Structures are given as structure tokens and as C-alpha cells.
Structure 1
């Protein structure tokens, strides 16, 4: 295996973890309708991760299609 590819693999797994967390938090924040405090906590955690994912360029190549989630991320810029 090319050593440059081998060195990237652990970072790729870490990045996938961040994307999985972001996706799960997005789902929870969007679905939570009964508990405003819990929804705000999900949204806060989601936006913390969005800062790093935006800096990594994820949102340059991935389109957020859910209108509420897209608005949440746009407002946080």
C-alpha cells in the first residue's frame, strides 16, 4: 500500500465519525418536536460539528436538502 494513502486512513475514519455524528444530531434536532430544551441541545452540538465540517470543505461538495437544516446551518455562518 502506498505510504501516503496509509497515513490518511486513520484521519478518514475520524472524519467519518464526525459525519456520522453530524447526521445523527441533524436527525434528532429535526425530529424533536416535544422537548425544546433537548432540541436546542441537539442543535447546539450539531452546529459545533458543522464548524469543523465546513472548514474541511464538506459543505462544498455535499448539498443539505432538508430546508430546516439548511436554514439552521446558513444562520450559523
Structure 2
């Protein structure tokens, strides 16, 4: 006859959290890629919409700066 071990609520929750974390790791680990996305948030409506008037100029300037790529960590993206 085998001895049954009792599980406390705390050990059950800890084991469940560890299993959930382990299952979530592969998508996080494989999500890394060479593609770098650059974006910004700008108000286009409401009381702060006037701050968004220079958006097109900023986007054009940034594109011009990054035409040759972005150097990071010894590689160009």
C-alpha cells in the first residue's frame, strides 16, 4: 500500500503557477526576431490634436534617418 501525500492549497497554487509559466515560455522565447518595430502614439483628436499636426514631418524625418538601417548590438536591422 502506498502512502498518500497531502497537498496544501499553497503547494497546489505554486505548482499551478509554475506549470502555467512553463507553458507560456515557448511563445515568449520564440517571439524574438530580427525585425524591429518603431512606433509612436500621437493625439489626432480632442483637445491635444494640435500636437499631432507635425506627425507627418516627424515620420518623414525618422524614415530619412533610418534609410540605411538601424545598428544595434553589432547588427543592422
Normalising TM by the smaller chain, what interval? 0.3 to 0.5
TM-score calculated relative to the size of structure 1? 0.32
User: Per residue, is there more strand in 1 or in 2?
Assistant: 2
